[in-house]
């Protein structure tokens, strides 16, 4: 039986979306005759305190967790040091502790994790595949967090070229991401595979409000809920949403519900307090088993990309909302893939960064027009069932893995 090793810092019970997706993917792949090892960090980034074993074997999957990712705090520099220590520990384990795999699969969690792929490749000749969730270091300089001329960035880009040159395949989550990647690394163009994220449509599905305990628990039953669920990171446009909330502050029935956390969580809290907004509520990350209820609490879901992050990220939160049958409001730069997706498939409406007034007007229209809301909801559900189920996406990953190492 062929052995495939996944390396990613975040994995359940951590709430990070990338880990949740890898969990479901590896479960599905384990049923298809692949022996799987998952090397990850101990839960830390977004996690409710529960006891977690460092070693876990189930369903043909061996899960290995290291404590090296939890030594420092959750602030920016602490997370960076933890990620660096996780990367070094992962390299040590791959080189000296665990038997050779037929294929290594690296994610961009943490962003510099793929660098160890090239080291392992030259020393042990192990084939590797990359899953690019976020395109680093481009995100850093295109969001003006650091200059492109910085020596660290130049060295990072140089290393990337060598990492991508020796990869068997490079998976990106959307066509625009793939096109941008091919422009940045033209020599790797033939290795690109486009495989989007997905959602479990059998678990997450439309649910009437009166049957949803989450809505009752948080007193949402008489509210028109605008839901933002997931990471509130630097690459997401939170400000446009907040400005729309400010414009709607006098509409008592309309509530903006933020579920999750991240870099901009404090911004939301500060904005709410400064403007004395009662139409904004914040909740922490929810347990994975509660997602079918939290995701169906929204009458409308918002997905956003910051202006400097176009074609560099692909928000995975979109697919859970589609599975829940929720109308989608997209906030993004002009001509983003999200704008085209919601418009062409009639699952919602798209707005440019900063168009809070137009977003406010659409929210009011949808609040008053139940028929349009139902049409968007039905289209969302139909769209994901036809394109982004676990079965469809797992088959794509299986085919890529099979093309590299063969399975049978």
Mean pLDDT of 59-70: 83
pLDDT of residue 74: 60
Residue 407 has pLDDT above 90, yes or no: no
pLDDT confidence of residue 373? 94
**What does the pLDDT look like over 140-199, one tens digit per residue?**
888 788 898 899 999 999 999 999 999 999 999 999 899 999 999 999 999 999 999 999
Q: Is the pLDDT of residue 323 over 80?
A: yes
Could you tell me the pLDDT band of residue 46, with boundaries at 50, 70 and 90?
low
Tell me the pTM: 0.90
Burial class (CB in 10 A: 0-12, 13-18, 19+), 402: middle
122: which residues sit within 8 A by CB, 6+ positions away? none
pLDDT of residue 42: 83
Mean pLDDT of 357-380: 96
Is 90 exceeded by the pLDDT of residue 98?
A: no
What local confidence, expressed as pLDDT, does residue 13 receive?
A: 82
pLDDT on residue 45:
56
Percent pLDDT > 90 in the chain is 64
- Predicted confidence at residue 226, as pLDDT, reads 98
pLDDT value of position 364: 97
pLDDT given for residue 77 in this prediction: 63
* pLDDT, the chain, mean: 90
pLDDT for residue 406 is more than 60: yes
Confidence of residue 402 (pLDDT cuts 50, 70, 90): very high
Q: Which pLDDT score is estimated for 378?
A: 97
Written in H, E and C, the secondary structure of the chain is CCEEEEECCCCCCCCCHHHHHHHHHHHHHHCCCCEEEEEEECCCCCCCCCCCCCEEEECCEEEEEEHHHCCCCCCHHHHHHHHHHHHHHHHHHHHHHCCCCCEEEEECCCCCCCHHHHHHHHHHCCCEEEEECECCCHHHHHCCCCCCCCHHHHHHHHHHHHHHHHCCEEEECCHHHHHHHHHHCHHHHHHEEECCCCECCCCCCCCCHHHCHHHHHCCCCCCEEEEEEEECCCCCCCHHHHHHHHHCCCCCCEEEEEEEECCCHHHHHHHHHHCCCCCEEEECCCCHHHHHHHHHHCCEEEEECCHHHCCCECCCHHHHHHHCCCCEEEEECCCCHHHHHHHHCCCEEEEECCCHHHHHHHHHHHHHCHHHHHHHHHHHHHHHHHHCEHHHHHHHHHHHHHHHHCCC
pLDDT at 62: 93
**Most confident among 43-47, 153-157, 259-263, 377-381 (mean pLDDT):** 377-381
The whole-number pLDDT of residue 47 equals 54
């Amino acid at each position: 039986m062929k052995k495939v090793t996944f390396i990613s810092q975040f994995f359940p019970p951590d709430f990070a979306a990338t880990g949740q997706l890898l969990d479901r993917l590896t479960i599905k792949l384990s049923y298809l005759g692949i022996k799987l090892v998952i090397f990850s960090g101990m839960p830390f980034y977004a996690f409710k305190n529960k006891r977690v074993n460092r070693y876990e074997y189930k369903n043909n999957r061996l899960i290995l967790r290291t404590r090296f990712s939890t030594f420092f705090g959750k602030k920016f520099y602490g997370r960076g040091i933890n990620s660096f220590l996780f990367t070094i520990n992962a390299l040590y384990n791959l080189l000296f502790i665990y038997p050779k795999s037929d294929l290594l699969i690296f994610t961009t969690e943490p962003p510099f994790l793929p660098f160890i792929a090239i080291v392992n490749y030259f020393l042990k000749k192990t084939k590797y595949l990359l899953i690019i969730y976020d395109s680093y270091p481009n995100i850093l300089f295109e969001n003006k967090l650091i200059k492109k001329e910085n020596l660290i960035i130049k060295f990072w880009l140089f290393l990337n070229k060598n990492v991508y040159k020796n990869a068997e395949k490079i998976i990106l989550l959307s066509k625009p991401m793939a096109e941008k990647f091919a422009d940045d690394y033209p020599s790797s163009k033939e290795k690109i595979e486009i495989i989007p994220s997905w959602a479990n449509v059998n678990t997450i599905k439309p649910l009437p409000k009166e049957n949803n305990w989450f809505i009752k628990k948080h007193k949402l039953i008489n509210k028109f809920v605008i839901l933002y669920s997931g990471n509130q990171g630097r690459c997401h446009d939170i400000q446009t949403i907040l400005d729309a909330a400010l414009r709607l502050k006098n509409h008592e029935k309309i509530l903006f519900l933020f579920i999750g956390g991240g870099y901009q969580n404090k911004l939301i809290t500060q904005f709410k307090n400064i403007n004395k907004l009662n139409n904004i509520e914040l909740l922490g990350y929810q347990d994975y088993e509660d997602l079918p209820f939290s995701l169906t609490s929204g009458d409308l879901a918002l997905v956003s990309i910051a202006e400097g992050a176009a074609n560099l990220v692909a928000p995975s939160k979109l697919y859970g909302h589609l599975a829940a049958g929720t109308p989608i409001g997209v906030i993004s730069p002009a001509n983003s893939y999200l704008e085209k997706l919601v418009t062409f498939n009639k699952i919602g409406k798209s707005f440019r960064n900063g168009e809070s007034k137009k977003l406010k007007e659409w929210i009011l229209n949808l609040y008053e027009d139940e028929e349009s809301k139902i049409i968007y909801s039905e289209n969302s559900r139909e769209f994901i069932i036809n394109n982004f189920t676990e079965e469809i996406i797992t088959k794509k990953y299986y085919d890529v893995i099979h093309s590299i190492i063969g399975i049978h």
